Structure 1
Amino acid sequence: MYKSLLVAVDGSQNGRKALELACHLARVDNAELHILHVPEVLPHEATLIWGIGAVAIGDELQEMEALGHRIISGAEAEAQKLGVEKIQTHLVKGEPARTILKQAAGLGAEVIVLGTRGLGDLAGLVLGSVSHKVASNAKCGVITIR
């Protein structure tokens, strides 16, 4: 049914559930599985703190990147353990919803699988959750897991 799937992982429990479902679908269809993690980019390399001035946030960025690599590595190992043969990993910085959509289009994914934070429809509309933005704007199928 699918030749290419994209699963967005963030290290959360719902992200793990999304990975498990995506792995099942990829294994059944012998599809290519793209595992994507999107660490949110901070707007500036330094931030202003009242009374102190500009403070470098380089260490925090390095920690976020290291965490992203651990999330991707763990997801890839889990996918291999679950029997997926064709796996590609992607660590792309940016605004999560926009980056997921761009990557899905660029990779030719036929479906995006991602977890939700468990927000209801109204809360998702008000807060603009990543899963809601992706589901509303994707040009391919979207499966959200709670």
Structure 2
Amino acid sequence: MYQSILVPLDGSSHSEKALAVAAQLARGTGASLHLMTVAEFPPDNIGLFTGGTPEPFSEEDREKLAAGMKEEAHKVIDQARAAVDLDGLEVKDVVRQGRPADLINEEAQSLGVDAIVMGSRGVSDMRGMVFGSVSHKVSHTAGCTVITVT
């Protein structure tokens, strides 16, 4: 049924549950798993980021912040790997930077996955209620099956 499954991770308990479900599906079908996390872009200025007055980032500061965000994204994948038994499964990691819903759909299409298994709510529940959740956007725009896990 499934040959390849994309699992977006954000450090939330919902995304770890989604990984557990994806691992069960992969075991039952022999599918490979692609664990993905998205580091969002750093803000344009440090003042707004820290709650102060707007101060433009230097390119060097922006690159340092982006590198730190990517490092944190790798930690999210490591945390999920530690929480779920993935022994015997083919698992690959993907870290991208940008807008999560767009990149999840792009990666799913690029990899040609059969399904996306993701948590219904992430680490930013309040932001999701205001702007619409990533899982909601993905489920309405993906070109493959999307399974949301609560």
What's the TM-score once normalised by structure 2's chain length? Answer: 0.80
CA 1:68–1:51 in 2, change beyond 3 Å: closer, same or farther?
closer
> How far did residue 77 of structure 1 move?
4.5
- Stretches of structure 1 that go unaligned for 5 or more consecutive residues are none
| Partner of residue 75, structure 2 | 70
1:112 is aligned, of 116, 119, 126, to 116
Give the AA of the match of 2:17. Answer: K
**More displaced 10-residue stretch of structure 1: 87-96 or 70-79:** 70-79
| Partner of residue 10, structure 1 | 10
Separation (CA, whole Å) in 2 of partners of 1:124 and 1:73? 24
Percent of matched pairs sharing the same residue: 38
> How far did residue 73 of structure 1 move?
2.3
| Partner of residue 42, structure 1 | 42
| Partner of residue 143, structure 1 | 147
Cα root mean square deviation, aligned: 2.5
What's the TM-score once normalised by structure 1's chain length? Answer: 0.82
| Partner of residue 95, structure 1 | 99
Give the AA of the match of 1:145. Answer: V
Separation (CA, whole Å) in 2 of partners of 1:133 and 1:34? 19
- Stretches of structure 2 that go unaligned for 5 or more consecutive residues are none
SS at match of 1:53: coil
> How far did residue 31 of structure 1 move?
0.7
> How far did residue 22 of structure 1 move?
0.6
Q: Tell me the matched-pair count.
A: 140
